[in-house]
Amino acid sequence: MEKQILEINLISAQGLKTPSANLRRMQTYAVTWINPATKLRTSVDSVGVENPTWNDKFLFRVSNEFISGDTSAVAVEIYAVGCIKDFLIGTVRFLLSTCLKRTKPGERSIGTPSFTALQIRRPSGRFQGVLNIAAAVYHSSDYAILDKLSAVSFRELMKKKESEAHRLRRLSRGGSRRSQPSSGGESCDLSDGADSSTSSSSTASTALKEWNSVRETAGKMKGAKSDGSGLLCGLVTPRKIPFCPPDQNLEFWAKAFEEND
């Protein structure tokens, strides 16, 4: 049986009545479904109070018979958020035949949204408030992701696409770190393999031994009488620094003072 995609957009509502006097500030959301087993919910409006705006879209995979049927309907319920439980504000039964235009017998207009306003029925049975709603029909090939789903929120669909794109970007960045060009122009493997860890540990131990040797040599030199030798770039290089004439004069007078003492 050929399928179509029905898009329902719950835009906003006006003139809602607060269901309980205990609610200090009314925050509302709406729930919609075609099959009661699969219900979809809008985000919560915390600003509009009696006149909320959601503008949430929902996609349903339905048959051609459902789209063209005169009694085919979408159910909507509007709730107010409560501390212990949520309060039902009202319900709407949206007949597709009152909104979607026919192009020819048995078919509806494809890709053209239709807007309408429907009265909201309160739990008492009285009508109060208006729900602004839009509907459109698309070919199932336009939404291949719904091949295995019967209904999905467009907002959740975008979140899944963003998370998938973020995961692919993270994987691509990880791959670029593992393969980076070396100074010779060849790619070097930065993976944490056993060979690389063994090689790195061997190099580290060799460097540590050399450094300890330099430190021991430097310590010995520090304890011995200074003869002008120096330490350069980690290598012990004995180097006799000759006295310049002014230094020789100073040495001569220093010995003379010691003899007089």
pLDDT tens over the chain, length 261 residues: 578 899 999 999 999 988 877 777 899 999 999 999 999 999 999 998 999 999 999 999 999 889 888 899 999 999 999 888 899 999 999 999 888 877 665 566 677 888 999 999 999 999 999 999 999 999 887 777 777 788 888 887 777 666 667 777 777 877 655 555 544 444 444 344 444 444 444 444 555 455 555 455 545 554 444 444 444 444 444 444 444 445 555 555 556 555 555
Give the containing element (helix H, strand E) for 13.
strand 3-14
- Check residue 190 and give its pLDDT: 39
C-alpha span between 28 and 51 (Å, rounded): 9
C-alpha span between 131 and 120 (Å, rounded): 6
C-alpha span between 116 and 135 (Å, rounded): 9
The radius of gyration computed from the CA coordinates of the chain, to the nearest angstrom, equals 41
| Domain locations along the chain | 3-163, 206-260
3-163: CATH, from 3.30.300.20, 2.60.40.150, 3.30.720.110, 1.10.274.100: 2.60.40.150
| Alpha-carbon separation of residue 52 from 47, 56, 65, 201 (angstroms) | 7, 12, 33, 65
Strand partners, 135: 8, 114
- Check residue 196 and give its pLDDT: 42
Burial code (b: 16+ CB inside 10 Å, e: under 16) for 237-257 equals eeeeeeeeeeeeeeeeeeeee
- Check residue 206 and give its pLDDT: 54
C-alpha span between 124 and 131 (Å, rounded): 18
Cα pseudo-dihedral 160, 166, 168, 173, rounded to 10: -170
| pTM of this structure | 0.61
Q: Which of these, 92, 78, 77, 93, lies nearest to 26 by C-alpha position?
A: 78
Strand partners, 59: 7, 152
**Counting beta carbons within 10 angstroms of the beta carbon of residue 20, is it exposed (0 to 12), middle (13 to 18) or buried (19 or more)?**
exposed
Tokens encoding 146:
């719904």
- Check residue 144 and give its pLDDT: 74
